[in-house]
Homo-oligomer: A and B are copies of this chain.
Amino acid sequence: MKGNVIVGQSGGPTAAINSSLAGVYRTAKDRGAKKVYGMLYGIQGLLDERYLDLSQYITNDLDAELLKRTPAAFLGSCRYKLPEIHENQDVYKKIFSILDKLEIEAFIYIGGNDSMDTIKKLSDYAIVTGYPARFIGCPKTIDNDLALTDHTPGYGSAAKYIGTSVKEIIRDGYCLEYENGLVTIVEIMGRNAGWLTGSSALAKGEDCEGPDLIYLPELPFDLDQFLSRVKKLLEKKSSVVIAISEGIKLKDGRYVCELGTSVDFVDAFGHKQLSGTASYLSNFIAGEIGCKTRAIELSTLQRAASHSASRVDILEAYQVGGAAVKAADEGDTGKMVVIDRFSDDPYQSGTEVKDVHKIANDEKLVPREWVTKDGTYVTDEFINYVRPLIQGDVSPVMVDGIPRHLFRPI
């Protein structure tokens, strides 16, 4: 490389997104980039000319290792959607004048499907205007809902945390005996895709029966069937644990959480902000059955738990960061790095690049055949798919009993 690289982070944070940032930095430096800039708060911050020189923060190999183990987005993130090119060329002119000033040769954006929309538009604009920089997307989302890639970095660590925590919750549920039993409802992220909620099945093993029911957002949720299934389970066992997606909906399209409280807030991408599904269902069950209930939201914890990250995930996140820079350096643009799985056991994977136009704004859902017929659990295929992605641990750098992170003063 002869010019400079700029990298940004976009969308919801994960435990692995900073590992991709470390990978981008390392490969850019290895390939001779003079400067590696980090845009602050994604493309939105770049529009305000907010960026930094990453070499001031990653000063040695220890910093890079800490960065790989730091949750959330080191550079800050955004949920900013670029206008269509024909609607507002000024935004594009501004961005490209900044890139020009910074002598950017490669623009790497780490994010999910909304963020790939940004890569698509910027690379289109560059091609149309003859601007020479290359634009490459680097996959990231705990939701695992990106098309054309076997899975996304960030998913494995979240799945490992969910499997571990749900197992600990199941264990806890058997401590105390309640007259009419205990029903625990665990709410897991995933608005439309059930990849995370399905990973609660990882709790299942020789030493644990796993959650009793799993409800993904891909299938309509039926309150009456749910109630009768819970009643039946309580006839056989004293503690029932149910994993549900925050985004489960009734047949008529209403979110279950909307049954309890009205939630009208909608974000910039038109997504409804959800919360309280577990809370609604646990009140519903308590009222109908008279048993003890608990609602547990894994909330922010599930995407920020670097302390229990998956080694496969952190390494793959690092690799896709490097692969993005390599692709840009070799002349690709308008592409996203994807992960190919060569085999399940032993698990082997590699990277290639695919056209971002086929990825942006698309959502990969859990296939119907990976959910049981009655819609209350995931199949063995699902578990065999996710199991390799949670393998291995990344030992946190413990300082005084607490994991150390790489710190950017704000």
Contact = CB atoms under 8 A, between A and B. Distances in A.
A172 B387 contact: no
Given A176-B77, A176-B78, A405-B207, A301 B300 contact: no
B310 A401 contact: yes
A364 interface: no
A387 to B, nearest CB: 6
B168 A301 contact: yes
A121 interface: no
Contacts of A410: 174, 237-238
A282 B150 CA distance: 38
A291 to B, nearest CB: 13
**Which of A169, A176, A297: most chain B Cβ within 10 A?**
A176
A151 interface: no
A208 interface: yes
A39 to B, nearest CB: 13
Interface residues of A, number: 66
B72 A172 contact: yes
B404 A393 contact: no
A169 B301 contact: yes
A161 to B, nearest CB: 9
Interface stretch (A87-95, A122-130, A198-206): A198-206
A27 interface: no
A399 interface: yes
Interface centre among A72, A175, A398, A400 (most CB of B within 10 A): A175
A202 B203 CA distance: 29
Nearest to A265: B292
B176 A79 contact: yes
Interface in A30-83: 41, 44, 70-73, 76-79
Interface in A278-325: 294, 296-301, 303-308, 310
Interface of A: 9, 12-13, 41, 44, 70-73, 76-79, 160, 163-165, 167-169, 171-177, 184, 202-203, 205-208, 237-238, 294, 296-301, 303-308, 310, 387, 390-393, 398-407, 410
14 contacts: A73-B175, A77-B176, A160-B402, A167-B403, A168-B300, A202-B402, A205-B399, A208-B407, A238-B410, A294-B299, A307-B308, A308-B308, A387-B400, A393-B398
Given A207-B404, A297-B297, 11 more contacts: A72-B171, A72-B172, A72-B173, A77-B176, A168-B301, A169-B301, A203-B402, A206-B407, A301-B301, A387-B401, A391-B400
Closest 4 CB pairs of A and B: A390-B401, A207-B407, A168-B304, A72-B171
